Structure 1
Amino acid sequence: MGMQRRTTSRRPSAGYRTSLPWRVVTGIATAVDRRIGWDKLPVLPGLLTLFGLRVKLRQKNLHDTTGLPFAHRPDPAPPSPSQRVNRTADGSHNDLGAPRMGMAGSRFGRNIPLDRIAPTTPESVLARPNPREVSRALLTRHEMTPADSVNSLVTAWLQFMVRDWFSHGTSPTERPWEVPLVDDDPWPEHPMRIMRTPDDPTRDPQAPAGTPDTRVNVNSHWWDASQIYGSSAEEQQRLRTGELGKLHLWNNGKSPSSLDPATDPSLVPGFWLGLAMMQNLFAHEHNAICDHLHAAYPSWGDEELFQRARLVNAALLAKIHTVEWTPAVISHPTTVKALRANWWGLAGERVHDLFGRISGSEVLSGIPGGETDHYGVPYALTEEFVAVYRMHPLVRDEWHLRSAADDATLGERTFREIAGPEALKVLETVPMADLLYSFGTLHPGLVTLHNFPKFLQEYERPDGHLQDLAATDILRSRELGVPRYNEFRRLLRLKPAESFEELTDNPAWAREIKQVYGDDIEKVDLTVGMYAEKLPKGFAFSDTAFRIFILMASRRLNSDRFFTEYYTPEVYSKAGMAWIDDNSMVTVLLRHYPELRTALAGLHNAFVPWHTAQDSKNPA
């Protein structure tokens, strides 16, 4: 395998792009956005505005927590030759000059200044209205509001990605938050107990009082498909067959891990049918990539095939998320163009396919294959990124399972009946093609108020603990020092809401929010504000959340050498690079489940509603 040069990731000074021309660009973009709104502009001016906003966000909204006091840790060993061209299991050595950056067990970063992180106290976390009050009054779903421009694979895909990106780990059972309840609250125990986020094990116990709280990500921060391959060498080895680079596949509804009760994925909180389907699909895709590489390079052994296939599969996931999933859920013409430009640049896919990169500029030729750049701050996912990705309203309560062949009903399931170990029972009895078809023809929920799935408000975890996830979402942002809605907007240079009527264009919601929060608009929680605000055209979630996406969606690519300087045929192989270029979610689905061809006919994005078998019988 050819060697790339050692990457020396650029870490510009804190004054990154603060010259007069850049100040003019970012100043104009900010002013135009506040006065008119990027989404109200034609596509080209809208793109220029988003470009200026991204530069400003890179300047002002990347904050490093690694400089806060650490407990002593031994230095890691120097990178081995294989670590220079392979992703490690735990994400270490992605940056060869900073081997701990982004690895499993490293700290979350922040998108707000560290001195603006609110301390975690009972007063701040349980302040009125407490999380349960907010859940019951503003988040409870009585009838689902659908996001009718997309299908429920959007929901499955999102949790599949989240399982790769971040986890705060298993909460300790001691010292739970005790949420006081009103007398008529039907919750079975008073007070409600919500487990705390685990403490940061890397924190220096002698840190001065007032040092901002930090937490660690037990997953790798990199976009490296750890939800398929694991985050440790031991887990990765257990998932591999040891032959031709391949992974063990799901068998009769059982994952390779579920054979061992200690590692059964169905016993992990958050496991459900949609997640299992995506893990199964891309385990099959890994093995298909191995077959492709083995045919092209028959001398490669098991290790070489596995490592190259893992690189290719992870990059394909990143591509699908960038140019298919995200444009489907925020389908404004400007954002569709911008997101595709993240991958291919403004020159576009056709130019890329014909000529490859035509410029070193990410604007013209996209991020993959460009320079590695951390923008002055060591790479990490952030607590604010986690907060805006809390999109539980996407989940349906009722699931109508149907046959891909003729649209015949196969059964009705509640979300409770497709979650945890129950999901494995469904996989044993319903063919995967029919499950995919059912998801592809069902709308998810819109990310908005009064649309939180009712079963997640009374979610029984595998350990038997009953949990209101809506209340937990509110509490988590408070616990982790994520600002309330108006302060969050100020820190992103967005205009705060001056009144409840300005916060939302729904007068009934404005009255309800005011009733819950009193007269203090500053108390409105981030989640409530994002769910209430008017959405840009084509969006399934808020413009406020989108600001974090503008920044972090590109950063996950820019900082990762396997998407930048090492995104080359010498590292991925020529056949591997062609696989990434030639494939999409549609081709992945059809490769493994060709019986979906009618449902996907003519569709270029697998996350928009599919054709039903009834459509083909009764064409318009």
Structure 2
Amino acid sequence: MPLFSYSVQEKIFAAVEAIPPLAKWVNRLLINRIVKRARSRPHPLSTAHDFVSWKGLTDRRWSGRHLPPGVRTTMPEVDDLLDLFERRDSTQRLCPKSTCLFPAFAQYLTDGFLRTETDNLIAKGETADTRLRRNTSNHEIDMCTLYGRTQAQTDALRLSSETRGEKGRLRSQKLNEEEYSPFLYSDGQVDPDFAVLDRPLGESDLTDELRAKLFAVGGDRVNSVPQVAMLNTLFLREHNRLAGEIETAHPDWSDERIFETARNTVIVIFIKMVVEDYINHIAPVPFKLKADPSVAWRAPWNKPNWITVEFSLLYRWHALIPDTLQWDATPQPVSSTFMNNALLLKAGLLQSFRLISATPAGEVGPRNTAKPLLHVEKSSIEQDRFCQLASYSDYRNYLGQSRPTHWSNISTDPDVATKLSKLYDDPRNVDFHVGLFCEDRVPNSPLPSLILSFVALDAFSQALTNPLLSEHVFRPSTFSEPGWRAIQSTNVLRDIVDRNVAGGAGDTFISMTRQDWVPE
């Protein structure tokens, strides 16, 4: 329990934020406290071996590990555990705090670097049987969803023109007087210009009508749902808008310099959104954390990024997605929105943000996953065991939380606690993935306790260590005058929408936090 009520905390932090030097000091204190809960990188182990090896310390195709492998016996069958995830009745529990913009942003963010190796991208010389321990990540918040994962993909997505008015731009098209990425398919076939891009996951099951509206983008998951394509569209427009401003300010600059400067700016703006919009939304306290790069400049945790297998597994937030989404006057079953960019094109960008922000998200927690998504929960538990992750209890201890000694320490829901007691012989043997999602939601946050701690830890330790935020790089000359101005003036996603839709956003409500949210 917090020492003060939320309303009292608001007053205290409002006083702190009114004194900039004090606010900066508190911001540094809180971020360091969050990150120092865990060991700093480099992690001694990865999924390459269960012992320290050069390969495990250098080959980042293998996911990192926070804890050594944990071998446990007499574990319950995976199918028996699904009852802990499946929704009990037809009514989905909704999150009292979050709108659907929150899970949309979470998916767009994590799809850029949480990339467990897929069958079509198996590393050369490796076999499929260890695929779940490997990744295809760049291990950075680098906006590869927009710019591509490789240089060849980036080249394919660029306009690459030295013509005045075109320098530095990403390729795009105008539809209904709005700017979008070009389509991936042309005349029923993948456009040869985009053959180098990773193919969208799930495209083989699509109708020709849906396939025709897939965008040519940097990420193979961007087309998965229209609200994620919506975010990519926003940052496409922001890149091209910035390129135009930079070209105007520096007409003598080449296409290459303008592109790279706009790209630098968009990546940093996105990192600001991660901290100042996304992390502040999940935080259970009202202090507004800032993406202050100097926090990391002398910090012992400022080490090169390496995505861990634990981080990949804890982001399986399927319960956040409601059963229906309102893309127009009629609510759409979520199954009908899969890879359906026509919904985005029909609504337009501003209306899409309005509708997503008006829709409450589901609640992360036990027994709130729709039956059609249970197979994803099953595969998550199987990956947990295949990678031999330590127990949920071990991870609580690792992050400075008490180990569970009673089932009620995991969940205060008596039905969930009873089910856990029947499946496991001891609270300390509960699977990592199962324990994560059986926990109670933290008051004033959309997330349970251990997930919240891991998300905050990894967000700060991987966002603020970005090379663009380093001490000798984060300066106006890296981003140009227009870029630096955009970075300083952007605090929430709504700021970016406002400057990238005709006439601005006006009084449109755009937020990850529900308008009707009342602190607990």
Smaller-chain TM-score range?
0.7 to 0.9
Tell me how far 1:511 sits from its aligned partner: 1.5
Aligned partners of 2:58 and 2:184: how far apart in 1? 28
Contact 1:155 1:395 in 2 (8 A): yes
2:349 counterpart residue number: 432
Q: From the superposition, tell whether residues 214 and 475 of structure 1 become closer, same or farther in structure 2 (CA, over 3 Å).
A: closer
Contact 1:240 1:246 in 2 (8 A): yes
Match of 1:234 among 144, 149, 152: 152
Would you say 1:247 and 2:170 are equivalent positions? yes
2:405 counterpart residue number: 498
1:168 counterpart residue number: 116
Would you say 1:382 and 2:329 are equivalent positions? no
Aligned partners of 1:322 and 1:68: how far apart in 2? 33
2:499 counterpart residue number: 591
Amino acid at match of 2:332: R
Equivalent residue runs for 1:44-59 within 5 Å: 51-52=32-33, 54-58=35-39
1:608 counterpart residue number: 513
Aligned partners of 1:549 and 1:61: how far apart in 2? 18
Aligned partners of 1:541 and 1:109: how far apart in 2? 23
Q: From the superposition, tell whether residues 609 and 578 of structure 1 become closer, same or farther in structure 2 (CA, over 3 Å).
A: same
Contact 1:140 1:450 in 2 (8 A): yes
Tell me how far 1:219 sits from its aligned partner: 2.2
Q: From the superposition, tell whether residues 250 and 398 of structure 1 become closer, same or farther in structure 2 (CA, over 3 Å).
A: farther
Give the TM-score normalised by structure 1.
0.66
Show CA shifts across 1:67-124 (max 9, x none): 954679xxxxxxxxxxxxxxxxxxxxxxxxxxx979xx64322222xxx2136xxx97
Match of 2:225 among 272, 284, 291: 272
Equivalent residue runs for 1:158-307 within 5 Å: 158-171=106-119, 215-243=133-161, 244-249=167-172, 252=175, 255-259=182-186, 261=190, 263=197, 264-265=199-200, 267=203, 271-307=224-260
Amino acid at match of 2:469: F
Contact 2:169 2:239 in 1 (8 A): yes
Tell me how far 1:140 sits from its aligned partner: 3.3
Contact 2:265 2:484 in 1 (8 A): yes
Show CA shifts across 1:358-392 (max 9, x none): xxxx7xx544xx35x66486531211222222222
Match of 1:110 among 65, 82, 98: 65
Amino acid at match of 1:492: L
2:278 counterpart residue number: 325
Partner SS state of residue 246, structure 1: coil
Tell me how far 1:553 sits from its aligned partner: 2.0
Structure 1: which 5+ runs fail to align? Answer: 1-35, 73-99, 173-196, 204-211, 345-361, 403-408, 458-467, 612-620
Aligned partners of 2:461 and 2:32: how far apart in 1? 13
Amino acid at match of 1:551: L
Q: From the superposition, tell whether residues 450 and 577 of structure 1 become closer, same or farther in structure 2 (CA, over 3 Å).
A: same
1:25 counterpart residue number: none
Aligned partners of 1:54 and 1:37: how far apart in 2? 20
Structure 2: which 5+ runs fail to align? Answer: 17-25, 162-166, 204-219
Q: From the superposition, tell whether residues 38 and 171 of structure 1 become closer, same or farther in structure 2 (CA, over 3 Å).
A: farther
Tell me how far 1:245 sits from its aligned partner: 0.7
Match of 1:139 among 83, 86, 92: 86
Aligned partners of 1:525 and 1:233: how far apart in 2? 39
Match of 2:360 among 432, 443, 448: 443
Aligned partners of 1:254 and 1:546: how far apart in 2? 34
Show CA shifts across 1:486-545 (max 9, x none): 122123232111111222122222122223x14332332223322222333211112212
Amino acid at match of 1:246: R
Aligned partners of 1:589 and 1:377: how far apart in 2? 33
Would you say 1:537 and 2:460 are equivalent positions? no
Q: From the superposition, tell whether residues 331 and 495 of structure 1 become closer, same or farther in structure 2 (CA, over 3 Å).
A: closer
Tell me how far 1:470 sits from its aligned partner: 1.5
Partner SS state of residue 168, structure 2: coil
Would you say 1:415 and 2:334 are equivalent positions? yes
Q: Which range moves more in the overlay, 312-321 or 379-388?
A: 379-388
Aligned partners of 1:251 and 1:308: how far apart in 2? 24
Contact 1:71 1:202 in 2 (8 A): no
Contact 1:107 1:214 in 2 (8 A): no
Would you say 1:391 and 2:317 are equivalent positions? yes
Partner SS state of residue 380, structure 1: coil
Aligned partners of 1:377 and 1:54: how far apart in 2? 12
Contact 2:116 2:136 in 1 (8 A): yes
Equivalent residue runs for 1:349-388 within 5 Å: 366-367=295-296, 370=297, 375=301, 378-388=304-314
Amino acid at match of 1:556: Q
Equivalent residue runs for 1:481-560 within 5 Å: 481-515=388-422, 517-560=423-466
Partner SS state of residue 231, structure 1: coil
Aligned partners of 1:245 and 1:233: how far apart in 2? 15
Aligned partners of 2:462 and 2:512: how far apart in 1? 22
Partner SS state of residue 316, structure 1: helix
What RMSD in Å do the two structures reach over aligned CA positions?
A: 3.6
2:207 counterpart residue number: none
Contact 1:330 1:541 in 2 (8 A): no
Contact 1:166 1:220 in 2 (8 A): no
Q: From the superposition, tell whether residues 542 and 299 of structure 1 become closer, same or farther in structure 2 (CA, over 3 Å).
A: same
2:76 counterpart residue number: 129
Tell me how far 1:201 sits from its aligned partner: 5.3
Contact 2:284 2:444 in 1 (8 A): yes
Show CA shifts across 1:525-569 (max 9, x none): 223322222333211112212332343222213433211121112
Contact 1:415 1:455 in 2 (8 A): no
Q: From the superposition, tell whether residues 60 and 305 of structure 1 become closer, same or farther in structure 2 (CA, over 3 Å).
A: closer
Aligned partners of 2:94 and 2:443: how far apart in 1? 15
Aligned partners of 1:473 and 1:39: how far apart in 2? 37
Tell me how far 1:200 sits from its aligned partner: 9.2
Contact 1:62 1:110 in 2 (8 A): yes
Contact 2:70 2:391 in 1 (8 A): no
Contact 2:265 2:479 in 1 (8 A): yes
Number of residue pairs the alignment of both structures matches = 457
1:6 counterpart residue number: none
Q: From the superposition, tell whether residues 59 and 438 of structure 1 become closer, same or farther in structure 2 (CA, over 3 Å).
A: closer
Contact 1:141 1:454 in 2 (8 A): no
Amino acid at match of 1:118: G
Q: From the superposition, tell whether residues 493 and 233 of structure 1 become closer, same or farther in structure 2 (CA, over 3 Å).
A: same
Structure with larger RCO (C-alpha < 8 A, sep 6+): 2
Bigger radius of gyration among the two? 1
Amino acid at match of 1:395: I
Contact 2:242 2:482 in 1 (8 A): no
Partner SS state of residue 149, structure 1: strand
Give the TM-score normalised by structure 2.
0.77
Aligned partners of 1:378 and 1:64: how far apart in 2? 15
Tell me how far 1:394 sits from its aligned partner: 1.2
Aligned partners of 2:469 and 2:62: how far apart in 1? 22
1:316 counterpart residue number: 269
Partner SS state of residue 331, structure 2: strand
